[in-house]
Structure 1
Amino acid sequence: MEEQRQKSWFSRNWGWVLGGGCLTLIIIVVLFFGSIIFGVSKMFTSSTPYKYAMEQAFTNEEVIAILGEPIESDGIMQGNISLNGDDGEADFRIPIKGPNGEARIVVVAYKDYGEWVYEKLYVQIKETKEAINLLDKGLEGN
């Protein structure tokens, strides 16, 4: 009689081990990149230039007349913001939408000795490419 050798646990379960390992690795990578995207998004949305730009756009009568109410953020922002103590720079676009259309807020600003100075702050309407200036005449800082 021939004696049959029993396979090792790994030999019998290699598919589950590799499949589970790959799935775990994929989940870890997705969570890692998700946390990076969430962190960057949170950094943008908690910044003074973002809050100021949203406030100016949401209360501007011309923007409200074109987009309708309510106006809300619509998607992923593009651009960058960098802070270094009392100095910094911001150059980004915020997609927004209302019931009547879509637009984006364009923000270009720098922080000098703790104060944000806005070089550009306007809403560009998607359909017409019209630009609505959000900077008060004669007052460009916040």
Structure 2
Amino acid sequence: MNNQIQQKSWFSRNWPWVVPVGGCLTLIILFFVFLGSVIFGVSEIMTNSDPYNDALAKVKEDSYVVGILGEPIEKDGMMQGNISYTNGKGKVNIAVPIKGPKGEAKIYVVGKKEFDEWDYQEMYVIIKETNEQIDLLGYENQKTEDTNDEEW
């Protein structure tokens, strides 16, 4: 008589450790996918904002900055700071790293939004190599300022 012993499959022999490890790995992967999508979503919202786009446009129009950094000037990393909107009013305080073929810099933007229009108190570039600060607003921001400005 031939007695053959049927061997169990790989999964039936190893399920006590495969199921918990596979479940944990799945949860870890889902967490990182979620985290990445949140970071990408917030970054996308901020890069589509008016202050961000206005600052990049001002930099690309400024011949002095273009002369220092070269063309094309493009974003170089994650934007830092905050932008808030509430009931038609808003505040912005951001720093945007930029680069060109000749160098790197950072754009700083501070402003307020009222009645669907941004009023920038500060918009300047600091060149990384020389720490030179270049005002992008020029005489445009020489308005009479209220002495009762709110604290941020």
TM over 0.5: yes
Query: Once the two structures are superposed, what CA deviation does each residue of 1:75-101 show, in whole Å capped at 9, x if it has no partner?
Result: 011100001131000001000001111
Q: Is the 8 A contact 2:121 2:141 kept in 1?
A: no
TM-superposed deviation, 1:46: 0.9
Q: Larger radius of gyration, structure 1 or 2? A: 2
Which protein has greater RCO, CA pairs closer than 8 Å, 6+ apart? 1
Q: Is the 8 A contact 2:109 2:122 kept in 1?
A: yes
CA distance in 2: counterparts of 1:140 and 1:51, whole angstroms:
22
Query: Once the two structures are superposed, what CA deviation does each residue of 1:29-72 show, in whole Å capped at 9, x if it has no partner?
Result: 11111111111111111111011001001121011110111111
Q: Aligned AA for 1:132? A: I
Consecutive unaligned residues in structure 1, runs of 5 or more? 1-5
TM-superposed deviation, 1:15: 2.1
CA distance in 2: counterparts of 1:103 and 1:132, whole angstroms:
10
Deviating more after overlay: 9-18 vs 71-80: 9-18
CA distance in 1: counterparts of 2:57 and 2:142, whole angstroms:
15
When the two structures are aligned, how many residues end up with a matched partner?
A: 134
Give the one of 25, 35, 40 matched to 2:42: 40
CA distance in 2: counterparts of 1:74 and 1:15, whole angstroms:
45
Q: Aligned AA for 2:27? A: L
* Paired position in structure 1 for 2:91: 89
Length-normalised TM-score, structure 1:
0.87
Task: After the TM superposition, list the runs of 4 or more consecutive aligned residues in structure 1 that deviate by more than 4 angstroms.
Answer: none
Identity of aligned residues (%): 48
Q: Is the 8 A contact 2:103 2:129 kept in 1?
A: yes
Length-normalised TM-score, structure 2:
0.81
1:16-27 matched pairs, under 5 angstroms: 16-27=18-29
Q: Aligned AA for 1:129? A: N
* Paired position in structure 1 for 2:62: 60
